[in-house]
A and B are shown apart, each in its own frame.
Chain A
Amino acid sequence: MAATSAALSASATTYRTCPRSGLQFERNAELLMKFNAVTAVVALLVGGILAIGVVLTRWPAVHWLAADTFYTVLTAHGINMLIFWMIFFEVAVLYFCSSTLLRCRIATPRIAWLAYALMLIGAVMNNIDVFRGNSSVMMTSYVPMMATPWFYLGLILFAVGALIACFVFFGTLVVAKRDKTYQGSVPLVTFGAIVAAIIAVFTIVSGAIILIPTFFLSVGLIKEVDPLIYRTIWWAFGHSSQQINVAAHISIWYMVAAVVFGAKPMSERVSRGAFLLYIFFLQLASAHHLLADPGVSTEWKVVNTSYFMYFAVLASMIHGLTVPGAMEVAQRAKGYNKGLFEWLRKAPWGNPTFSGVFISIIGFGFLGGISGVMMGTEQLNLLIHNTIYVPGHFHATVVIGTTLSFMALTYFLIPVLFKRETIAPGLAKIQPYLFGFSMYFFCLVMMGAGTLGVSRRHWDMAFSGAALAYEWPGAAYLMMGLVGIGGIAAITGGALFIYITVGSLLWGKKLDQGVVSPRFTPIPPTAPTAAAQTYGSAGFTAPGTFVLAMVFLVAFVLYYFINWKYLAQLWGLS
C-alpha cells in the first residue's frame, strides 16, 4: 500500500479505468472535465431561467417584462446559451476526446486550469455587466451601439481562455502520439473533435480581431470601428462559433452510436472526408448574416453563403446518413433484420442517451438544416432577414442539434465520469422527448411567425406608442402565442434535465470507481475482423436509413422551391 502511494505521488497522476464503460480517465483530465461540464450546466441553468423572461414577454397575451428588462434578459440569454454553456461543455468534450479516448495524460494541466479560470472570470464579468443593465446590446453588440468596456473585456478573457484550452487539447494529442498510447489513426470521434478545435481557433481569432478594437473604442482609445466591417468580422466569430458546435455535436452522434450500439462508422473515409469539408468550407457561412447588407458584392455573397458550392451542406447531409446508417448496420448485425425499420423499432428508445441523439439528428436535419439552407440562399434571405424565423432556425440547430446532444451525452457521463447513479430514471427516460419535441414545435411556430414577417429581438408586436403602428395579421399573433406555449414546455424539459443532472451529482448513489493505476494502459491494436470486410461496394447495408434520407431530400426540395415561389411574388428588386 505504501509502495503504491509512493509510486502514485512519483508519477504525479493516476489513471482510472471505468468498470461500466472500459474508458480510462486520467486524474487531472477527469477533474478538468468535471469542472468544465458542471460550469456549463450552471450557464445552461442561468440561460434557461432567462428564457422564461424571453418567451413570456414575446407571448403577446402575457407580455411580461418591461422593455429595458426584456432586452437585458435577451442579451444575457443569448450569451449564456450560445457562448458560455456551449463552449464550457465543448472544452470538456475536447479533453474527453483527447485524454480519455486516447488514454493518455492531459498536457499541461496547470495551463488547462488557467484556461478554465480565464473563461470563468470572463463569463462572470460579462454576466454581471449585462445584469447591471448598461450593456443590453444583444449578443451581436453591433457598433456604433456600445456596451461598457467590461462587456467586451469579459468576452475577450473568456475567448483567450477557450483558445488556451484548444491548445491544451492539441498538446494532449501530441502526448498521446509520443507516449504511443494508440496505434494508427486517431478514432473518428477524436478526429471530429480536432475539426471542432481547428474551427474554434479560427473563430476565436476572428473574435479577437473585432472585439479588441471595439473594447478600445469603448474605453476611448480609438475613435471609430466601421459598422460594416464590424458586422463582417463579428460574424466570422459569431457564426463560426456555431460551427464548432456542429462539429462537436456530430462527433457526439458518432460517439453515442459507438457506445450504445457498438457501431463502427460505415466508412471511415466518407465520415472523415465529410469532416474535412467542414474545415475547408464551414467558415464561409458567416456570409449568411450579410446577405441583406449593403456594400458586399453579389459574387461574394453567392460563393460564401453557399460554402463555396454547398460543400459544407454536402458534408452535413453525409453525416446525417452515416450516423443513423452506422446504427442500422450495427443493429442488423445483431439480427434486427426484418423489413426496413426493425433496427429502428428495436432501438433502445428508453435510453435517454440514444433517444436524445436520435431526436437531435432528425430535428437538426429536417428543421435546422433545411431552414438554414433556405435562409442562407442569397435572394431568399430577403424574406426572412432579421425576422423571428432566424431564431426559429438556430434554435433547431443549436438547441435541438447541439444542446440536446450534449444532454444525451451527459446521461452517459453521469455514471461514467461522475460515478453516480442517475436519480429519477423514469424522468430521465422522458426528458429528451419532452425537451426535444417541444423544441420541434417551438422552432416550427417561430419559423411560421417569421414567414409572416414578425421581427426578432422586438419587445412589442403591438407597437404601443408608435405614431404609425402596423397591425400584424391575426395568424402572427396566434403563432407568437404558440411560441410562448412551446417555449414554456421546452423550458420545463430543460429544468428536468438540470434537476436530474444536478440531483444525480448531489444525491445519486455513488458507484464503484474502478481500478486505479499509476500507468496508462494503451489501446490494444484492433485486428481487422472478418466482419469489417463483409460489406463494401457490393452491399446496400442500410436501406432503412437510405429511405429516411430520401424522405429528407423530398422535404428539402419541396420547401426550397416553395420559398422561391413566394419570393417570385415580391416587389421587383434589382
Chain B
Amino acid sequence: MSAILPPAERLWWKHPLDRVEAVWIAIAFAWCMVMFLMMVFWHVYGKQNLSTETYKTTPDKFAAKAQAMVDKYTVRTETDEKIPVVHPPVGSDIYLTARLWAWRPILELEKDKTYKLHLTSMDYNHGFSLQPTNINIQVVPGYEHVVKITPNQSGQFSIVCNEYCGINHHTMVGRLYVK
C-alpha cells in the first residue's frame, strides 16, 4: 500500500490514471514540445544562433593567419605591452587567439557589419566571455571555431576568460572596440 512495498495490485499497469495526473501530463507534454520547437524556430527566425563551423588546427597554423591579419591591419598599439589594435575590413575573416593568459589582438569592428571571427586556443581550454554584452563561447585547443558576429552596439567591450586556465586566469582579459 505504499511506495516502499510491492504494489498491492499485481496488474498495477492497468490501474486507471487519476485525472490530476492525466491533465498534468498532457500540459507538461505540450510545454515540452513548445520548448523543443522553440529551438528549431529560432534557427529559422532568430538572429542569435551559434555557428558550428569548425576546423582542426595547430597553434602554428593559426598563429600565422592571425599574424598576417595583425601585420596588415594594425592601426595603433595600446598599453605598455604595445598590444596591437587591428581594424580589419568589413566582412573579413578576423582572428582572436586565446593563450595563457591573454586575448590577442585587440579588434576594432564596425557596428552592424558582419565579420567571421576565428577562435582558438594555443594551450588549454579558455572561455570567450564578451562583456557587458554577455556572449559566452568555449574555446578549445586544436579547434578553430568560425563564428559570424554582427555587433549591434558601439563602444568598448571586454573579453573575460571564463574557463579556468591556471593561476593567472583572473588576469586574462582582452578588449574589443565597436565603432
A residues near B (Cβ < 8 Å) are 67-68, 71, 101, 138, 142, 144-145, 182-189, 226-228, 231, 254-255, 257-259, 262-272, 290-298, 301-302, 305-306, 309-311, 313-314, 317-318, 321-322, 325-326, 373, 377-379, 381-387, 451-453, 455-461, 463-470, 472-473, 523, 525-529, 532, 535-543, 545-546, 549, 553, 556-557, 560, 564, 567-568, 570-574
6 pairs of residues in contact across A and B, judged by CB atoms under 8 Å: A185-B7, A264-B1, A294-B144, A379-B49, A458-B169, A549-B24
Closest to A23 in B: B4
The interface residues of chain B, by DSSP majority, are classed as mixed
A306 to B40, CA, bound (A): 11
Contacts of B156-179 to chain A: CB distance below 8 A: 158, 160-175
Beta-carbon nearest neighbor of B12 in chain A: A268
Interface presence of B35 (CB below 8 A): yes
Interchain CB contact under 8 A, B27 and A266: no
A302 to B18, CA, bound (A): 33
Nearest chain B residue, comparing its CB with the CB of A326: B3
Check B167–A302 contact: CB distance below 8 A: no
Q: Report chain A residues within 8 Å CB of B88.
A: none
Identify which of residues 121-179 in chain B touch chain A, using a CB-to-CB cut-off of 8 Å: 123-125, 127, 129-145, 147-153, 158, 160-175
**Count, chain B residues at interface, CB 8 A:** 99
Cα–Cα distance between A187 and B123 once the two chains are bound (Å): 52
Chain B contacts to A: CB under 8 angstroms = 1-10, 12-25, 27-29, 31-33, 35-36, 38-40, 42-43, 46-52, 54, 78-81, 83, 102, 106, 114, 119, 123-125, 127, 129-145, 147-153, 158, 160-175
- Whether the Cβ atoms of B48 and A384 lie closer than 8 Å is no
7 A-B pairs closest in CB distance: A572-B150, A294-B145, A310-B32, A470-B158, A455-B162, A385-B136, A258-B2
CB distance from B160 to the nearest CB of A (A): 6
Q: Which of A228, A255, A259, A523 contacts B140 (CB 8 A)?
A: A228
Residues of A within 8 A of B166 (CB): 145
Kindly state the separation between the CA atoms of A480 and B4 in the bound complex, as whole angstroms: 43
Contacts A258-B2, A453-B131, A574-B49 given; indicate if A463 touches B171 (C-beta within 8 A).
yes
Query: What is the CA–CA distance of A266 and B5 in the complex, to the nearest angstrom?
Result: 14
Report A-chain residues with C-beta under 8 Å of the C-beta of B43: 298, 302
Given contact pairs A227-B141, A567-B48, A294 touches B54 in the complex (Cβ within 8 A): yes
Q: Are A470 and B160 in contact (CB under 8 A)?
A: yes
Quick check: B38 and A293 within 8 Å, CB to CB?
A: no
